[in-house]
Chains A and B, each alone.
Chain A
Amino acid sequence: MIAGNIMDTRFRFLHPDQSIVEAIALLRAAGDNTGKKIFGMMVLDEKDHLIGMLSMFDILLYIRPKHIGIFGAMADVSPEPLFRNLLGRVKNVRVEDLMSRDLVTIGPDTHLLVVMDTMIKKHVRRLPVVEEGRVVGIIYRSELFDRLMEKIMEA
């Protein structure tokens, strides 16, 4: 019942200077290969240090129009041209621009209930597992959920 038991050790990661378009392609490819949808990946620098995490949420935040609150409620205004304009802006943006840098990490010996608590408190769906400064794996909330549900069903 510790992080080390359920973490994914064969993880992919992003480089800070990749474009968001590349990052999205990599996220989709990772999902296709493992059969589960991946919505975020760790970002490692050239020395393999963990420097950030890029998630679907970070990208959605970027494409959210600043004034959608005003226009969203209006039936006669179509956000379509705006949307196209925004997609054009995405082309110049890199992983390092949108990634979150303030990361919470756990160790391989952290108990799953503590992992769960951390995910709830910090509103994250994935947590990097770090040992002696090196990333050794990643835990996904969905995986945690499956394992805990198994335990509940067995009891």
Chain B
Amino acid sequence: MARVKLRNILSGITVKEAMQANMAHLPENTPLKAVISHFIKYKTRTVLIRGTRDGQINGMVSRTDLTGAFYAGLSVEIPVSGIMTGPPVTCRASDSLEAAMETMKSGRMHQVYVTGTETDQIAGLLDWSDIMGLLYRYCRACTRSGRREIKIQGQNLPRLRVRDVMTQQVARCETYLHLAGVIEVLSERQIGALLVTDTDSRPAGVISKTDLIVAYARGLGLNEPARTIMNSPVTVCKESDLISEAISRMLLFDIQRLFVQTGHRITGVLSLSDVARLRSGTCRACAAGRIAEN
């Protein structure tokens, strides 16, 4: 019996097609407060840092580094050179997207910087939402898929729903937990945002790393309660929603995760990076399960 080679829709796509181009970088003497403003303005998760003498990229700083500085009680006026890490992990613009995704998966990274084809200069950034955005565009444009279930070897492939992919253990805290405690939980659980519940265990809001660094820049203290800076209401979806719809919402709203609500309770969380890591798009129209809708 002939074996059918499953064609992966990612075949032939390079990093260059998915990445965001033109990366900003800041000089290493930039005070943390101004670095945080940059994060807010450009809605970014990391920023590159260049040396003041040679202008070369010598590091990067992430929101985690900033929350670490907040936790350590560092002043927001200190230069970013004090907390930056790096140099950043990179891949090449000409690399296959699949290879870059492997690098990100095995390193448990949320993003990778991209160097140009000719030089070692950093040309762009690739994160999971860029990859999902590209796949979404490809799948919507594809004329070979139908808007129906495809039969494979006589079996209908079910379309994935949120409940099939979500994480059921949802990290949560109460509205009165102080910001130091919030930072500790995010760090221990290696997550980017925390659900805040009120005394009835009902969802009250969400605190993300971005909210924490804004609090840091505004001069709020580590003993401030979570309720002061949390975002309400919580953006939710249902367990029965299609994964494709959930992805679409996360991309459209530029958010990293959806909390899953059943009745009045939060029963799970679905993050964009988990979905992207899980299924790397072998196209349904080309006879295997696919992540983005059509």
Judged by DSSP, the binding face of B is helix
In the assembly, what is the distance between CA of A33 and CA of B37, in Å? 31
A66: contacting residue among B34, B129, B137, B214, CB under 8 A: B129
B37: contacting residue among A66, A67, A81, A96, CB under 8 A: A96
**Chain B residues closer than 8 Å to A85, beta-carbon distance:** 253
In the assembly, what is the distance between CA of A62 and CA of B37, in Å? 12
Does chain B have a CB within 8 A of A70? yes
**Chain B residues closer than 8 Å to A58, beta-carbon distance:** 41
Within 8 A of B (CB), among A71-102: 71, 74, 77, 79, 81-82, 85, 92-93, 96-99, 101
A67 near B41 with CB under 8 A, answer no
B 28-57 binary contact with A (CB < 8 Å = 1; else 0): 000001101100110100000000000000
B41 near A62 with CB under 8 A, answer yes
A67 near B214 with CB under 8 A, answer no
Judged by DSSP, the binding face of A is helix
Most B C-beta atoms less than 10 A away, residue of A58, A66, A69, A81: A66
Most A C-beta atoms less than 10 A away, residue of B36, B41, B140: B41
Does chain B have a CB within 8 A of A65? yes
In the assembly, what is the distance between CA of A101 and CA of B31, in Å? 13
Counted as pairs of residues, one from A and one from B, with CB atoms less than 8 Å apart, the total is: 43
B40: contacting residue among A66, A69, A97, A101, CB under 8 A: A97
**Chain A residues closer than 8 Å to B251, beta-carbon distance:** 67, 70-71
In the assembly, what is the distance between CA of A96 and CA of B217, in Å? 10
Write the nearest CB–CB distance from A84 to chain B, whole angstroms. Answer: 10
Apart from A62-B41, A70-B136, A97-B40, what are 20 other A-B pairs with CB-CB below 8 Å? Answer: A58-B41, A62-B43, A65-B252, A65-B254, A66-B43, A67-B129, A67-B254, A70-B133, A70-B137, A71-B251, A74-B140, A79-B252, A85-B253, A92-B214, A93-B40, A97-B36, A97-B37, A98-B37, A98-B41, A101-B34
Question: Which range contains the number of B residues in contact with the other chain?
Answer: 10 to 19
User: How many residues from A make CB contacts under 8 Å with B?
Assistant: 22
**Chain A residues closer than 8 Å to B40, beta-carbon distance:** 93, 97-98
Write the nearest CB–CB distance from A61 to chain B, whole angstroms. Answer: 7
Most B C-beta atoms less than 10 A away, residue of A71, A92, A97: A97
In the assembly, what is the distance between CA of A71 and CA of B253, in Å? 11
**Chain A residues closer than 8 Å to B253, beta-carbon distance:** 81-82, 85
In the assembly, what is the distance between CA of A61 and CA of B214, in Å? 19
Most B C-beta atoms less than 10 A away, residue of A65, A70, A74, A82: A70
Write the nearest CB–CB distance from B20 to chain A, whole angstroms. Answer: 9
**Chain A residues closer than 8 Å to B252, beta-carbon distance:** 65, 67, 71, 77, 79, 81-82
Task: With CB as the reference atom, state the residue of chain B lying closest to A62.
Answer: B41
In the assembly, what is the distance between CA of A81 and CA of B249, in Å? 10
Task: With CB as the reference atom, state the residue of chain B lying closest to A64.
Answer: B43
In the assembly, what is the distance between CA of A97 and CA of B40, in Å? 6
**Chain B residues closer than 8 Å to A82, beta-carbon distance:** 252-253
B254 near A97 with CB under 8 A, answer no
**Chain B residues closer than 8 Å to A81, beta-carbon distance:** 252-253
**Chain A residues closer than 8 Å to B137, beta-carbon distance:** 70
Write the nearest CB–CB distance from A125 to chain B, whole angstroms. Answer: 19
